[in-house]
Amino acid sequence: MKPLTGLRIIEFDGLGPVTFAGMVLADLGADVLRLTRSAAAGAPVFTDVGGEVLHRGRPAVGVDLKDPVDLARVGDLIATADALIEGFRPGVMERLGLGPDACAARNPRLVFGRITGWGQTGPMARQVGHDLNYIALSGALSMMGEPDRPPRPPLNVVGDYGGGAMLLVTGVLAALLEAKTTGRGRTVDAAMTDGSALLTSLFHALGARGLWNEARGTNLLDGGAPFYRCYACRDGRFVAVGALEPQFYAALLVGLDIPAAEAPQFDVGAWPALHARLATVFATRDRDDWAAHFEGSDACVTPVLTLVEAPRHPHNAARGTFIDRDVVQPAPAPRFDGEAPASSPQSAPISLDEALGRWR
């Protein structure tokens, strides 16, 4: 048994956040049916991007949403579902006759989860965009990168996954809890602009207190502080230094053999010189030498591992943070009751008839 065992969720196949949200919900035990475009409907675009991992734990059900018969049978699935998640542009589900109002008429307790970049409303709601555009508009992107260069894209984890998929999952689960009490579902409008803006809450608070400025790369957590950034090592690899608190910073200085009197932590004017000094020291040894040197200390120094290296690290291996299902991939998270996360292998595709039979 997993926490969401017994929940029935329909996922309308898409890219990015809706796919990731479907994976998370399936990992947590929900019975997710991923509705994909059938051969009769024509080849979908990018359907297999990340599929070896992102499609795990739930079967694909081929449907043709332009076929009235298939559309009606999808409606039958919706009538017995607990939740639905989709990532189409605003208005697409309504044109199919599967919008929130139509679905609620058949299933009042259905939670209807929607994920878009700009949201269901607002002047840009129907405009195209990608993760980078959404986090640019929310202000999150402006804080990332070097001070003398354009902002650097932080992969698509801030908009698509952090501000998008995880907020969609949160909203759907919150609405499901309410529906258990009220018997009525909700429409969840998860926008990546809203979610990525929410993720910047701390920095709005710091800015209001004069503790954060808009000059990128000059602040405590954006690489401006010499004790909270990455450094290149002799072998061209890197270490991450996160010695924020004074006691951890003191341990860092001890480990680097730097007298505390020569390196006051919060003398911002001295940060550039201290950064240069630490860069010189870290460049004298290989990454793994530094990792061994600081192992067990409170200096908060860790190696920057690649995707290939991370699964082999002793800590990750001991916790089972990664699993190997033909493709090495992150294991489901979080874990419950201290148990190792249960794996969610790929599921074989099933027909629409089989899907309907499964939920009768």
Burial degree of 359 (CB within 10 A; 0-12, 13-18, 19+): middle
Cα 316 to the center of its chain, rounded Å: 19
Q: What is d(CA 300, CA 65) in angstroms, rounded to the nearest whole number? A: 53
Instruction: Check if the beta carbon of residue 250 is closer than 8 Å to that of residue 260.
Output: yes
Please tell me the distance from the alpha carbon of residue 350 to that of residue 360, in angstroms, as a whole number. Answer: 15
Single-letter amino acid, residue 265: Q
Tokens 């009042």 belong to which residue? 108
Q: Which 3 state secondary structure label does DSSP give 124?
A: coil
Q: Which residue has the tokens 């591992």?
A: 305
**Catalytic annotation on 130?**
yes
- Contacts of residue 46, defined as CB under 8 A and 6 or more positions apart, other chains included, come to 15
Distance CA 158, CA 142 (A): 13
In 252-306, at which residue ranges do the beta strands (DSSP E only) sit?
A: 301-303
Q: Could you say which of 76, 130, 286, 293 is catalytic?
A: 130
Q: Which of 13, 31, 131, 160 is catalytic?
A: 160
Active site positions, annotated? 130, 160
